[in-house]
Amino acid sequence: QVQLVESGGDSVQAGGSLRLSCAASGLTFSSYCMGWFRQAPGKEREGVAVIYTGGGGAYYDNSVEGRFSISRDNAKTTVYLQMNSLKPEDTAMYYCSTNVYGPSAGTWFGNCRFNYWGKGTQVTVSS
């Protein structure tokens, strides 16, 4: 059974930094696109960042480009999201995601499919 467990969320002031982690199990981690999504109260879930398999690079939503950095450690089966220069509008529940159910199900973001989610970690940025 696939498990995605996020951690690292906290309350910080604007301009601060946080590092989120997502520990994955139950899948051949190195073979999967991994992504971070977020959902603010009253808003739809949106894609934040994707990291591809191997050395294929990463993709970012325009709203976080230059401030956030996604990385992965295949040996630890963990994906990270380094968030710098945080803004109040970054306040949301952040979710780790991957594709467990195949190529036709779920959300398409950054040239990867996402249809399996962790339970999330809360990030709150105050002004």
**4: number of Cβ within 10 Å:** 22
pLDDT tens digit sequence for 88-127: 999 999 999 999 998 888 999 999 999 999 999 999 999 9
* Mean pLDDT for all residues in the chain: 96
Residue 79 near residue 51, CB atoms below 8 Å: yes
Residue 83 CB partners (closer than 8 Å, separation 6+): 17, 18, 19, 20, 64, 67, 68, 90, 123
Radius of gyration of the chain, Cα coordinates, nearest whole angstrom: 14
